[in-house]
Amino acid sequence: MKVIHLSVECFPVAKVGGLADVLGALPKYQRKLGVDASVVMPWYNRKFTQENKFDHIAYGAFYQGSELLHYEILKEANDLLGFPLYLIRIPGKLDREEVYCYPDESEQWLSFQHAFLHWLKADGIQPDLINCHDHHVGLVPFLLKYSYEFQQFSHVKTLFTVHNGQYQGWMNWSKGILLPSFDSWQWGLLDWDGVINPMAAAVKCCDAFSTVSEGYLKELFIEANGLQSLFSSESQKGYGIVNGIDTDYWNPQLDTLIDSNYNLNTVEKGKSQNKKSLCEQYKLDPSLPLMSFIGRFAIEKGADLLAEIIDQLLGNIKSKMSIFILGSGDQDIQDALQQILEKYPKQLAVYFGYNESLAHQVYAATDLLLMPSRVEPCGLNQLYALQYGTIPVVRGIGGLKDTVIDVQETGGYGIVFPEAHVEDAVQGVIRTLEIVNQVDLLSEIRQREMHLDFSWNKSAQKYLDLYTKLLK
């Protein structure tokens, strides 16, 4: 079974969030199950592309509106990722340093999708199924069916995976002329509320869509940034498959990015050594419980609540604890954290920015990890926390609700609080500190966490079952 994953992020080539982690791992696990899985993504001017060897395997050109675009296909030469990786490079469009936030984002992703299909046609590549990930590649299911240029692929099955339904890739209809020519009677499939909506087009035209947890699938029927009625009406082809984690890379016993490796038998010593070195580096007291937050400073993540949560915990309640924040994003959130940092310099450390190896050290070093998310399609941080024996303190929503069982329930191993509010989060943290301060109970919970299996094995099989169903 030949499956192509189409995405604009893939770890370690270009990562902004969980999308990259999924693309960097799922195809590897699928290949173990006998699927001929590969990834096609844009070329970025980044460390990975500069430092590794690529074979130049194809060239081509097409018109995007009146602009002639030349593309080049590069294949990673040394099987570094455990699956074939293809990068599409287009001077001026797909040759940038960052993944997102360019003013011509629509043109960028349109050129990626068009070049991909152009290459398949030119080289006679016939996948059985294309797994499109998020709105950036959401026009592919439509183009396979209704563009004149790519009619020969109309039978190719598509699975559209929704990693985040909040972002939909909206573009004005004036950009319609930039698409490869298509059957204009079908324009309604591209439209939602008077604009081209690639996420909506994908949900309408794909053979099936999946979300990255079952809980999130149900939530999309109620709230999906305007698309809830569409998700509901297409629900018969919707599936929820929870993300897994790559245990070759996220593994405290093998992790080369942490100071002290540990396993189930050495977790107490290992975590305390990692905590000591992180605390020494950031001038925190290692004898206190250490809480962390890792992630994008976005409203979705509840990051706007952090400053107030910290103020309550360290100021009003005077909890004996330290806090480590690693993230970047919204400037107002960053400013609020900077202010609170000045208020509690001895108990709080903040690293503004993206730092992959620091993230590993933080998962390994901290006792509890807070996720006060408003929306969380799956969430990977809580899974990494569990893998590293760190108690996740999460708001019960989406994938967080599916993957974290509160300690009050039989066999529970985390803390779940009901709403993305400061008070609920603070109460959740206080409950967790009660556990962290009881050595035997903490050690029991850590053992439970580290016995869990959130590797990709189970979910990769679920994807395969779904592909098989679609291909029958």
Measured from the CB atom, the residue of 21 and 72 that comes closer to ligand ADP is: 21
Shortest Å, Cβ 378 to ligand ADP: 6
Exactly one of 49, 52, 186, 328 binds ligand ADP (CB under 6 A); that residue is 328
Q: By CB under 6 A, is residue 354 in contact with ligand ADP?
A: yes
Which of residues 356 and 434 has its CB atom nearest to ligand ADP in the complex? Answer: 356
Residue nearest to ligand ADP (CB): 18
Q: Does 215 bind ligand ADP (CB under 6 A)?
A: no
Vertex 395: Cα angle to 18 and 221 (nearest 5): 70
Residue 327 in the binding site for ligand ADP (CB under 6 A): yes
Nearer to ligand ADP, 207 or 449 (CB): 449
Task: Tell me if 98 contacts ligand ADP by CB under 6 A.
Answer: no
Site for ligand ADP in 38-97 (CB under 6 A): none
DSSP state string for 56-90? EEEEEEEEETTEEEEEEEEEESS--SSS-EEEEEB
Q: Is the dihedral of CA 304, 224, 453, 26 positive or negative?
A: negative
- Alpha-carbon distance values, 374 to 161, 415, 423 (Å): 21, 16, 14
Give the whole-angstrom CA distance, residue 108 versus residue 98.
12
Per CB under 6 A, does 447 bind ligand ADP?
no
In the numeric block, which tokens belong to residue 92?
């001026």
Of the candidates 369, 364, 340, 362, the residue with the CA atom closest to the CA atom of residue 429: 369
- Residue 164: how many CA atoms within 13 Å on its side-chain side? 18
Which one-letter amino acid corresponds to residue 163? H
Compare residues 170 and 351 and give the one whose CB is closer to ligand ADP: 351
**Token pair of 27, please?**
């195809």
> Residue 18 or 389: which CB sits closer to ligand ADP?
18
Minimum separation from the CB atom of position 64 to ligand ADP (A): 29
Please, what is the minimum distance in Å from the beta carbon of residue 300 to ligand ADP?
A: 7
| Residue 27: exposure state from Cβ atoms within 10 A (0-12, 13-18, ≥19) | buried
Min CB(164)–ligand ADP separation in Å: 6
Backbone angles phi, psi at 129, to 5 degrees: -150, 140
Burial 445-463 (b: 16+ CB within 10 A, else e): bbebbbeeebbbeebbeeb
Min separation Cβ 319 and ligand ADP, Å: 24
Strand 195-196 relative to strand 191-192: parallel, antiparallel, unpaired? antiparallel
CA angle centred on 148, ends 64 and 156, rounded to 5°: 105
Q: Is 21 a binder of ligand ADP (CB under 6 A)?
A: yes
Minimum separation from the CB atom of position 22 to ligand ADP (A): 8
Residue 89 or 301 with smaller CB distance to ligand ADP: 301
Would you say 15 is a known binding-site residue?
Answer: yes
Q: β-strand 368-371 against 391-395: which pairing, if any?
A: parallel
369 binds ligand ADP (CB under 6 A): no
- Residue choice 132, 202, 326, 337 for contact with ligand ADP (CB under 6 A): 326
Tell which positions 263-322 bind ligand ADP, by CB under 6 A: 294-296
Q: Is residue 17 near ligand ADP by the rule CB under 6 A?
A: yes
The reply to whether 379 sits near ligand ADP by the rule CB under 6 A is yes
Q: What is each CA distance from 318 to 94, 293, 310, 430, in whole angstroms?
A: 50, 19, 10, 11
The stretch among 35-43, 114-122, 220-228, 349-357 that binds ligand ADP (CB under 6 A) is: 349-357
Find the part of the chain contacting ligand ADP (CB under 6 A) among 54-62, 232-240, 374-382, 437-445. 374-382
Residue type, 19: L
Query: What residues pair up with 158 in beta bridges, in sequence order?
Result: 130
261 binds ligand ADP (CB under 6 A): no
Name the residue among 115, 113, 116 with its Cα closest to residue 137: 113
Report the residue number, 73 or 394, with the smaller CB distance to ligand ADP: 394
**Closest separation in Å from C-beta 386 to ligand ADP:** 13
Please report how many Cα atoms fall inside a 13 Å half-sphere around the Cα of residue 260, on the Cβ side: 16
CB of 165 to ligand ADP, least distance (A): 12
- Specify binding-site residues for ADP-alpha-D-glucose: 15
Binding site for ligand ADP (CB under 6 A): 17-19, 21, 294-296, 326-328, 354-356, 359, 378-381
- Specify binding-site residues: 15
